[in-house]
Chain A
């Protein structure tokens, strides 16, 4: 149980285009999902906390208009990188927190590698 999927796993796009990344909890409902960004050989940095039915909470320094997050249902959150530029190239990882967890445990997706040309 507790499987989280991400789609696509890898995407290459041209500069100026927008890219949407989906994060799904496959076998549980997730009130809260998190989006992380990881640069090569670096740690995971939390970008935003996504709550179902409400606006995402962004971490300091993360552009809300650049990284649009939508958590439309208890099993799906999307991250849209708008007008992508080469500096947006990164590994994006989502996680989902099960409603009944008492351990603050987040279940991680496999990640999406974005390359902007």
Chain B
């Protein structure tokens, strides 16, 4: 069975602080994909990144960066110099190939509040 754990339920930071959102996953698949989504108050999911299990290179996109550590089954997300517009719920998700095809398993989400 697949499982995604986001231990941080809620994080509050002051604008311009850096913040890291943790994600730990479990899967028996050797090939799988990891995702991060942002869900602002409007409810629509915004795709942020996809990473496959064979690509452990970290990635940076503007103020966002992701650290994939296969050895610890973690896929953490860091926002540098946070802004109020970053306030949202962030979901980590996993898609594998075992007994269910391409189903996405979501973590419970981390509510990020960025204050002035």
Contacts and interface: CB of A to CB of B under 8 A. Distances in A.
Interface stretch (B56-64, B72-80, B99-107): B99-107
Contacts of B107: 43
A42 B45 contact: no
Nearest to B97: A104
A104 B102 contact: yes
Interface in B20-78: 33, 37, 42-45, 47, 50, 52
Residue picked from A45, A95, A104, A110, most chain B C-beta under 10 Å: A104
Interface band, chain B = 20 to 34
A44 interface: yes
A44 B106 contact: yes
Contacts, number: 52
Nearest to A2: B47
Nearest to B95: A104
Contact of B91 (A43, A49, A104, A105): A43
A49 B45 contact: no
A108 B43 contact: no
Interface of A: 32, 34, 41-46, 49, 91, 93, 95, 97, 103-108, 110-111, 113
18 contacts: A32-B101, A32-B102, A34-B104, A42-B108, A42-B109, A43-B106, A43-B107, A44-B45, A44-B106, A45-B106, A46-B104, A95-B104, A103-B52, A104-B104, A108-B44, A108-B45, A108-B47, A111-B44
